[in-house]
Amino acid sequence: LISEQNAAFVPLERFLLNPRAAHYFLLFLMQQRQHFELYFWLHVEYVLKKYATTDKALFWTLTFDLIKKAEADSAAIQASTKAGLKQAMKTQSLEDALSMFAVAQQEICLVLNASWYERFVKSPLYSLALSDRGAKTLLDSDSEDDDEDDGPSLRDSFSEYDSIADIPTGERPLLVHHVESEDSDSDLDDGKPMKLNLESIIRSTTLPEGLQVHYRPNYPIQPMVLREDECPVIDAIVLFKTIFTESGPRLELSYVRKDQAPRESPSAETQRKISELAKRIQPYFVPHGRFVSSQKDPDALFPFVVIQNGELGTLYGMCYTSYIEFTEGEFIAQGMGVVSPYPLVDGLRAIVSHHVLNAVDPLSPDVVRPLYNVPAPSPTSAPLNTSSSSKQKVPSRRNSGTLLDLPPPPRIDFSLSILFANLSTAVVLEVVANALLEHSIILLSSSMTALTVSAEAIRCLLNPFSWCHIYIPLLPKALLSYLHCPTPILVGIHQSCATRDDLPIPSPSTCAVIVDLDRGTIEYLGSRKLQWPTMGLQDDATTPIALVQSFESAKAKLDELFHPSCINLDDLAPPSRISPLPSSFPEATVRSIFHRLISDLLYDHSAACLVVGDAEESVIIFDELKFTCQRPPHEGPFIECLIRTQC
């Protein structure tokens, strides 16, 4: 067993040539927040040198980012070397760039040898690196003469500290445990190159507070996109009708098969899938639970979304409900529901609405069955062009950074107009801010369509972030227990389904907001809340989290778009009180404003990100302190909450 007392000394230059061992040294430096120099060395050696021959475009992209970071964060690289790197970048000379990178690596090694490597050799992480099977070649001699030339294999003393116990507590690495790769034995035996396996190295220690580790997902990410072809989009059609049982009224479901006369009976697996589908979507057909009514309620057509784990994944549905007379003075609910694996709202509404209005018997299985072959209409929105918004002038207080190049928002199949028709621009922005901070959001309305479309609009405006917690835009009465879920929720409740007693009671460290779409108001539950720093009565008692300047800029743009006659009313020559309003809802402009808002919130975040690893495997180390220190002090609380979310 190798310990700090009997660990053999390995020169720095040789130690760094083993990528797995070198990353133990990097973790040690991260604990001291002195890691950039070694990060630069490793990034050049194990990432840039490979891409220099395999992907030159990516090489220059990564080189630009690394040179920019080094300009601000590296004290070891000399000014002349930095200038040489900039010149190589300007001329796109690969040979000059690699030559200057080699010089920078030498300068970094000189600094590390003179200071931090001595401390690392006395640390438990150094012993752990030598014990690591992936780094075992560190102790292998290059030749038979190495043992004679190198002298004793054990190092008796070190420059500053005699033992690990003498290292100040603040500098001593916190050793947790070492996790060996399960396939390390096979990799070594087969002669294959050892995988870096960064996760096992990172788990060997504890990083200081403020350094976040973000692993790449080990599953394929398949974003939901609209169909661009003429293929059918409806995956299942279910008819339902109220029946009476001993336990009371309930819905009886009938699955409509795609083939009128199937050649063979469905298999047990098919029956299981149909049963699972029915169980998932049944609560959404009559979400308020009113199976029987004393009067004939008007026909209703409303969307719903079911997001759960499992093979069925996310389902978008459209439900048509009608009440028919069962006995005198008693009406029962019946109708149909269609579901699709594609994010369709207006498309499904158009299909079902056209069917109900034109069919003689719209709830007959034979009449409904042709809907399986109907393609979706064109999406509501066209692809959003953000090139114009990305060229807008950046605020002067951030003239040293870079604006994040976010991907354009995807196409959607619904309009944002319903959300903005029910809420003011300030309330919409405040709701989006709460969603960004992963506060629970409960929408309330008398319209089931308004609930689903508004929830979808909120999710849309978060792009490229995504809401990764419980999401039920139309919460059925039977599922009201979800309101008390300990994790954040984004749900919509019909006003007839719940009372104030059903609402959750958040803890002091959490927040929940009630958004009344009918009244256009927002109400906070609990003591934690967001606050506009320049609007409304300031509440100093509960020390609310102030919205950052980016939200004020977005509000000004939205007000100029929707309420031009109410701007600058105190000016000597105010604008005309009769200002033209958009003839149609400006979907693209609104989405561009929110796209710019998110981009501004993440402004220059790349300066606080380090992609650690090699060309095959990497993790992202995000420095919270470095990111927040770029912001004005009054924006700190909001930004700190934002970067600790799971969006």
Tell me the mean pLDDT per 10 residues along the chain, length 647: 61 89 92 92 93 92 92 93 94 94 95 91 87 64 43 34 38 38 46 71 84 74 65 91 90 88 72 84 91 90 82 83 90 94 91 93 93 79 48 40 58 91 95 94 96 95 88 92 90 90 80 94 88 74 80 93 78 63 82 91 85 86 87 87 78
Could you give the CA distance from residue 9 to residue 159 in angstroms, rounded to a whole number? Answer: 13
Q: Are residues 70 and 185 in the same domain?
A: yes
Q: Is 575 among the domain residues?
A: no
Q: Are 456 and 414 in contact (CB under 8 A)?
A: yes
Give yes or no for a contact between 376 and 411, defined as CB atoms under 8 angstroms apart: no
Instruction: Decide: helix, strand or coil at residue 436.
Output: helix
Beta bridge partners of 301: 320
Together in a domain, 21 and 107:
yes
In a domain, 6, yes or no: no
Domain final residue, candidates 321, 349, 373? 373
Which candidate, 586, 592, 597, places its Cα nearest to that of 387? 592
Cβ 31 vs Cβ 173: under 8 Å: yes
Asked if 88 and 138 sit in the same domain, the reply is yes
3-state secondary structure of 111: helix
Rounded CA-CA distance 106/124 in Å is: 26
Same domain, 469 and 555: yes
Whether 624 is covered by a domain: the verdict is no
Residue 231 lies in a domain: no
Q: Quick one: pLDDT at residue 578?
A: 56
Does one domain contain both 342 and 478?
no
Residues 401, 346 share a domain: no
Residues 250 and 315 in one domain: yes
Q: What are 252's two structure tokens?
A: 């009886």
Q: Domain ends where: 373, 407, 422?
A: 373
* Alpha-carbon distances of 267 from 110, 365, 387, rounded to whole Å: 71, 21, 52
Residue whose entry in the numeric block shows the structure tokens 């499904």: 348
Query: Are 339 and 428 contained in the same domain?
Result: no
Identify whether residues 174 and 248 lie together within a single domain: no
The DSSP letter of residue 230 is S
In this structure, are 120 and 255 located in the same domain? no
pLDDT of residue 411: 81
Secondary structure string (H, E, C) spanning 513-534: EEEECCCCEEEEECCCCEECCC
CA distance linking residue 87 with residue 41, whole number of Å: 19
Choose among 513, 595, 602, 597: nearest CA to 556: 597
517 and 435 inside one domain: yes
User: 50 and 177: one domain?
Assistant: yes
Residue 546 and residue 531 in contact, taking contact as beta carbons nearer than 8 Å: yes
pLDDT at position 103 is 96
How many other C-beta atoms can be found within 10 angstroms of the C-beta atom of residue 343? 23
Q: Give yes or no for a contact between 526 and 508, defined as CB atoms under 8 angstroms apart.
A: yes
Q: Is residue 112 part of a domain?
A: yes
Closest to 380 in 3D by CA, of 232, 599, 222, 591: 591
Cα 354 to Cα 230, 360, 361, 499, 522, distances in angstroms: 18, 12, 13, 36, 36
Using left for φ > 0, alpha for ψ between -120 and 50, and beta otherwise, residue 469 falls in beta
Asked, for residue 180, whether it belongs to a domain, the answer is yes
Number of domains in the chain: 3
Token pair 């298999």 in the structure block, residue: 267
pLDDT at residue 115, as a whole number: 86
Contact, 338 vs 317, CB < 8 A? yes
Determine the structural domain holding residue 363 and report its residue range: 236-259+267-373
Q: Is residue 404 in some structural domain? A: yes
- Asked, for residue 275, whether it belongs to a domain, the answer is yes
DSSP character for 53? H
